[in-house]
Amino acid sequence: SRDTSRHTSSHTLSHTSSHTSSHTSSHTSSHTSSHASRDTSRHTSSQTSSHTSSQTSSHTSSHTSSHTSSHTSSHT
């Protein structure tokens, strides 16, 4: 009588997650005022304001799971 039993199990689990977030904000403000006065009065005022904001967010997630099991039994 002979009894041979083999059991092979392989389990592979990989998880990859990448998160990238970039935030760029620029604020530019310029104010120019000139005032000249004599017998004639002049007032010149110019104001320029620009605001730029950009936000980019990307999220990538991959999940892979594999399970392999083999069972071989021979009895003689």
Q: What is the pLDDT of residues 41-62, one digit of tens each?
A: 555 566 655 555 556 555 555 5
Q: How many domains does the chain have?
A: 1
Contact 52, 23 (CB under 8 A): no
d(CA 18, CA 12): 20
What is the model's pTM? 0.14
Domain, as residue range, for 11: 3-75
Predicted confidence at residue 15, as pLDDT, reads 56
Closest to 16 (Cα-Cα) out of 76, 63, 56: 63
Coil, strand, or helix at residue 38? Answer: coil
- The answer to whether residue 70 scores a pLDDT higher than 60 is yes
pLDDT for res 8: 54
Q: What does the pLDDT read at residue 44?
A: 59
Provide, rounded to the nearest whole percent, the portion of the chain with pLDDT above 90: 0
